[in-house]
Structure 1
Amino acid sequence: MSAAPRRNLAGALILGIPILWILVFMLLPYGIIVTYSFWIKKYPSFMPAFQLGNYVTLFTDPQYLQVMARTLKISTLVSLCSFALAYPFAYYLVFRCRSQALRTWLYMAVIAPLWVSYLLRAYVWKTILGTEGILNSFLISTGIIAEPSPVFLYNQFAMVVTLTYIFIPFMVMPIYTALEKIPRNLSEASADLGMGPWRTFLHVTLPLSMPGVAAGFTLTFCLSFGDFVAPFLVGGPDGNLVANVIATQFGAALNWPLGSALAIVMLIIVLSIVSLSDRLESRGNGGEF
């Protein structure tokens, strides 16, 4: 075999394996879920059909609308809280921290939790917020409360706190990267033109860092939107999100068609967020919106 056919064969193998992986483990499962979403549940199983009854149920049944609204609310709050904590931190590391060693240590302190089991990180907050946890113990020792309070656990507050802690690294990393790319001479030029620190931040730093902010919002929102472990551990009976309902439909309820329809709706929402974020990033990088 000559050199050219060998190169073509090697190229086909290099490209063929990942393409085959995507087809078998991504596109094929998606196709199966889309197909199931049009089927009908018929006890004790379900039967093939082509109807929109499952989607109609999702958008007319108040309990599913409530779950979707709760999921959007929790995901938005987690993204906003992560941004409120991550942006000042990343800004300090890039523009205010003079010690390279300290900057590295602080950045690694944020990234290090990603090396720890997700389940362990979620369970830690269940321990902290519990009636015998650190928070209640501190409040009792300072005399703020007389006995352990259950209000910190099994509610939406606990879910937002836990998910913010778990996903905040995904907000810090893109914002830090975007801020690092901003040329320092732009801030100096702004100061030379008579703009103070706040005006420089609002008109120079913040707009140029928006691609990183958009990427961080996308990551934290989508990860929170699809999470089901943290709501199970700290959310309580009224803390179910879309992913928990999908797991129930495929498990205890044995209603695969309805679970598939809900998964497709969830996928469309996530893809819409990713598409919007991509357009915002393109606009921030000088592309067409």
Structure 2
Amino acid sequence: MRHFYRNIPAVLVLGIPFVWVVLFMLIPYGVIATYSFWEKKYPVFIPAFQWGNYQMLLADPQYIKVLLRTAKISILVSIASFLIAYPFAYYLVYRCRSARVRTWLYMAVVAPLWISYLLRAYVWKTILGTEGVLNSFLIWTGLVDTPSPIFLYNQFSMVVTLTYIFIPFMVMPIYTALEKIPKNLIEASADLGLGPWRTLMKVTLPMSLPGVVAGFTLTFCLSFGDFVAPFLVGGPDGNLIANVITTQFGSALNWPLGSALSIVMLIVVLTIISLSDRFERRGTAGGH
């Protein structure tokens, strides 16, 4: 009995997360996977084990096109986030001398995560709109005479909006990776005559690659599954895989096909995460 009571804290610590994962992850995924093999015969879905839904995804070029468009947007968002996040994180770690300024700048990146996602997306809809801040600035400077609609409802606006929304997930792992690099290695590089640029390319960047890969993984996966920002700022060419899934479960009432799309999307995300984890393990083993 005494042994039983002693194990209660361990059971609570491990049991509650396990029950949560089973109830809200494994069971829903199992239901979605089951639906993906069913048949739709309006107005009902018939249980059946068949590959018709997956064959439809491969046979219909519109689904392949949407999947490739989603991957392209996610890659562009990841690249744009990296190009902004890495110099910023590098400055915080190596160039910013004031601890207070460093803290404030870091919090300026993280703080938007505490704000509503919809509000952050609507901000860019306001900025890029025909009556938004950007068009007003261009008219004020005399570069254009009338508001231009080219900044909104296209893939450019989607990349800008998603980059702004998900860039904290690129900054944080890169900042952490840069902080872990021993400062004496940077000093040794300078002592050997390497300038700042060569030190960055030969020492800092290679040693911070685990953080870069983690940032790319987070940013890509989050962008790949997003459906709100494309709906708000994407326009006719902004339909991504998550939006198609929403349509299948909503107005199209084709849950089996929507479930098949969800499974394909899950496989893509899990593949990216597995490749990222393998790269990180290989980098850690190589470092040791």
TM-superposed deviation, 1:277: 0.8
1:45 aligns with 2:41: no
274 and 93 in structure 1: CA distance in 2 versus 1, 3 angstrom threshold = same
Summarize the alignment of residues 244-259 of structure 1 with structure 2, pairs less than 5 Å apart.
244-259=243-258
CA drift of 1:287 comes to 5.2
After superposition, the C-alpha distances for 1:139-165 in whole angstroms (9 at most, x for unaligned) are 111111110111110000000000000
Match of 2:172 in 1: 173
Answer with 108-117 or 78-87: which moved more.
Answer: 108-117
In the alignment, what sits opposite 1:69? 68
Percent of matched pairs sharing the same residue: 76
9 and 99 in structure 1: CA distance in 2 versus 1, 3 angstrom threshold:
closer
Offset from partner CA, 1:83-110 (integer Å, 9 cap, x none): 0000000001100111111111111111
Work out the CA distance in 1 between the residues paired with 2:151 and 2:117: 21
Distance (whole Å) between structure 1 residues aligned to residue 196 and residue 7 of structure 2? 57
Whether the 8 Å CA contact 1:207–1:284 is kept in 2: the answer is no
Equivalent AA in structure 2 for residue 115 of structure 1: W
Report SS of the residue matched to 2:45. strand
2-structure distance, mates of 1:14, 1:85:
39
Consecutive unaligned residues of structure 2, counting only runs of 5 or more, are none
- Residue 246 of structure 1, CA deviation: 0.5
Of 191-200 and 177-186, the range deviating more from structure 2: 191-200
Distance in structure 1 (CA, Å) of the matches to 2:215 and 2:74: 13
Name the CA distance, whole Å, in 2 between partners of 1:109 and 1:13: 37
Residue 203 (structure 1) shift: 1.1
- Residues of 1 paired with 2:284 and 2:195: CA distance? 25
Answer whether contact 1:153 1:235 (CA < 8 A) is retained.
Answer: yes
Of 27-36 and 196-205, more deviation after overlay is shown by: 196-205
Instruction: Tell me how large the CA RMSD over aligned residues is.
Output: 1.2
Q: Which residue of 2 aligns with 1:195?
A: 194
1:61-101 CA distance string (max 9 Å, x none): 01101110100000000000000000000001100111111
1:80 and 2:79 correspond: yes
Distance in 2, Cα, partners of 1:262 & 1:270: 12
| Counterparts of 1:226 and 1:92, CA distance in 2 | 31
Separation in 2, partners of 1:140, 1:284:
51
Structure 2 counterpart of 1:162, one-letter code: T
**Does the aligned pair in 2 maintain the 1:171–1:217 contact within 8 Å?**
yes
- Matching residue of 2:53: 54
Could you tell me which residue of structure 1 aligns to residue 124 of structure 2?
Answer: 125
Using the size of structure 1 for normalisation, the TM-score is 0.97
Deviation at 1:173, TM superposition (A): 0.4
SS at match of 1:285: helix
Instruction: Provide the rounded CA distance (Å) in 1 between the counterparts of 2:111 and 2:7.
Output: 42
* In structure 1, C-alpha distance between the alignment counterparts of 2:76 and 2:107, rounded to whole Å: 25
